[in-house]
Amino acid sequence: MDIQHPFAAIVDYGLGNLHSVQQACTYVGLTSVITNSKQVLLGADAVILPGVGAYGDAMQELHRLDLAEVLLDLARSEKPLVGICLGLQLLMTESYEFGHHRGLGIIEGPVVRFDMPKEDGKILKIPHVNWNSILHTPHNACWDKTLLSRVKSGTFMYFVHSYTVQPRDAKIILSTTEYGDAQFCSSIGYENIFACQFHPERSGPEGIKIYHNLKKLIQEQGCRNHEER
């Protein structure tokens, strides 16, 4: 497959809003391809793992398509790996959605269901389907060197989820979000990995900044690689 560089590969494992992600890439001028080809994923300048649906089904498909090991290899590389919604959750060690399922294990920690969040004494609806704000964590008060660059703390993003991630290492949590009396991790940053619980491609101009930042990052990496040759 002849693809113009730089390009992002969007992982196709049968679950997720793949075309919305691709449209966001196109909007910022980033070439992208939707694929389940191991060769294309490994040859991409960045990989985006989106997802909407059941955790167990997603992991089953990743293993069936022999993509789990590819994602592990990408996580160990210097290439940007971006997880969105279920894509974030799949990076974790395990999930308790409809049973117990092993995840990719790239990020240590479980995926758990909201524990009856309340507001003014009333139990809030699950799934959490709403625009909600993302807030700096005390140890990540500056997002300038992450894909959240130029996104302000308190910015509203679009969420659709019933489960949340609980990273064991709190230092990798870039932002948290509150739903009633529940506070959860809404994005993480770890080495070459950025992942978020919200949908940046459905979050208007502020969400699109993440795709602009991804394009800029892979262009900068391409320049560095060229200079090193």
Residue numbers annotated as active site: 85, 199, 201
Q: How many CB atoms lie within 10 A of CB 6?
A: 17
Angle at 152 between CA 158 and CA 167, to 5 degrees: 65
Strand bridging mode 193-196 / 118-119: unpaired
Residue 183 pairs in a beta bridge with 178
Q: Cβ(151)–Cβ(95) under 8 Å? A: no
In whole angstroms, give the CA distance from residue 160 to residue 163: 10
DSSP per-residue string spanning 83-108:
EETHHHHHTEEEE-TTS-EE---SEE
DSSP assignment of 165-193, as one string? Answer: E--S-GGGEEEEEEETTEEEEEEEEETTE
Record the tokens describing residue 197, joined without a space: 């619980």
- Cα–Cα distance measured from residue 169 to residue 56, given in angstroms and rounded to the nearest whole number: 24
